[in-house]
């Protein structure tokens, strides 16, 4: 039997994720599910003697940092609990941020219903899992990483920052997606403006769109 914890501050979301596990092939005989708000994670301790094997953590599209903090907390305090991140916005940066925070699997929110239970089984067995709907993005990321620089002499990290500017993300939001600090994002933006000869972020975003860099 796999012991799983569904972690999210929204009770309705927790119920939906738990139902997806039960209806996706992990029935009552195969799965023991507990549900926790993020804010009570610190109550999970060894004396409970029923720590989960896998934690399902949602990275909300509007606030992924809450879920990322949960992944980091689990990695630091209970590394034996393997996290599966359910990502609200399908982006390469979101996947990278989830894995960097300690997740062992990533699943797209609102998928076909089979990916989440498959991910839970896989990571419970010690493996890693990437939702097939998101795997192509990781391939593109790996291929881009084979080149030292891209158009306009931009580094790969600068390109990743640039492709997010048309979405109007703040430095903090970009940092969360790419798992880098806000200060580092600021530094990359300054370098991007210089290399593109752009006066501000809006002009840089327009150049990125014009040259198909997003």
**Residue 154 C-beta-side C-alpha neighbours within 13 Å:** 27
Helix axes 171-178, 182-196, angle to 10 degrees: 110
| The two three-digit tokens of residue 23, written as one number | 């209806």
Residue 202 has pLDDT above 90, yes or no: yes
Q: 143 pLDDT band (50/70/90 cuts)?
A: low
Task: Return the residue matching tokens 């609102």.
Answer: 110
Residue spans of alpha helices (H) in the chain: 11-23, 64-77, 92-100, 115-124, 132-145, 156-162, 171-178, 182-196, 201-210
54: β partners = 4, 82
The arithmetic mean of pLDDT across residues 84-111, rounded, is 84
| The two three-digit tokens of residue 155, written as one number | 């580094």
CATH 1.10.10.10 domain range(s) in the chain: 146-210
CATH 3.40.50.2300 domain range(s) in the chain: 2-133
- Give the pLDDT confidence of 10-29 residue by residue, as tens digits: 999 999 999 988 876 655 56
The arithmetic mean of pLDDT across residues 183-198, rounded, is 93
Bigger pLDDT: 48 vs 187: 187
Bigger pLDDT: 112 vs 171: 171
DSSP 45: -
In the prediction, which pLDDT does 156 show?
80
Is domain 2-133 annotated with CATH 3.40.50.300? no
Q: Whole-angstrom Cα distance, residue 48 to residue 194?
A: 55
In the prediction, which pLDDT does 36 show?
82
- Give the pLDDT confidence of 23-80 residue by residue, as tens digits: 766 555 678 888 888 877 766 654 444 688 999 999 887 778 788 888 988 888 888 9
The arithmetic mean of pLDDT across residues 185-202, rounded, is 94
pTM for the model stands at: 0.66
The CATH classification of domain 146-210, taken from the options 1.10.10.10, 3.20.20.70, 3.40.50.10260, 3.40.190.170:
1.10.10.10
In the prediction, which pLDDT does 81 show?
92
Bigger pLDDT: 159 vs 133: 159
Q: 145 pLDDT band (50/70/90 cuts)?
A: low
Cβ count near 65 (within 10 Å) = 16
Pick the range with the lowest mean pLDDT from 13-17, 62-66, 128-132, 204-208.
Answer: 62-66
Task: Return the residue matching tokens 């005989």.
Answer: 29
Residue 124 has pLDDT above 90, yes or no: yes
| pLDDT above 90 as % of the chain | 36
The answer to whether 41 touches 12, Cβ cutoff 8 Å, is no
The arithmetic mean of pLDDT across residues 180-185, rounded, is 89
């Amino acid at each position: 039997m796999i012991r799983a914890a569904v972690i999210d501050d929204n009770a309705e979301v927790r119920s939906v994720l738990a139902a997806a596990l039960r209806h996706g092939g992990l029935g009552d005989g195969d799965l023991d599910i507990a549900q926790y708000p993020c804010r009570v994670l610190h109550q999970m301790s060894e004396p409970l003697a029923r720590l989960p094997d896998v934690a399902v953590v949602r990275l909300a599209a509007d606030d992924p940092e809450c879920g990322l903090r949960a992944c980091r907390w689990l990695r630091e305090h209970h590394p034996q609990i393997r996290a599966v991140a359910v990502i609200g916005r399908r982006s390469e940066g979101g996947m990278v941020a989830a894995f960097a925070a300690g997740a062992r699997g990533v699943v797209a929110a609102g998928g076909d219903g089979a990916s989440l239970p498959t991910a839970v089984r896989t990571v419970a067995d010690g493996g890693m899992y990437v939702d097939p709907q998101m795997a192509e993005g990781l391939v593109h990321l790996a291929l881009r990483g084979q080149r030292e620089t891209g158009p306009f002499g931009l580094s790969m990290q600068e390109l990743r920052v640039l492709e997010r500017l048309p979405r109007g993300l703040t430095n903090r939001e970009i940092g969360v997606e790419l798992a880098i600090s806000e200060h580092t994002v600021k530094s990359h933006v300054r370098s991007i403006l210089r290399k593109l000869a752009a006066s501000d972020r809006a002009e840089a975003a327009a150049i990125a769109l014009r040259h198909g860099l997003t």
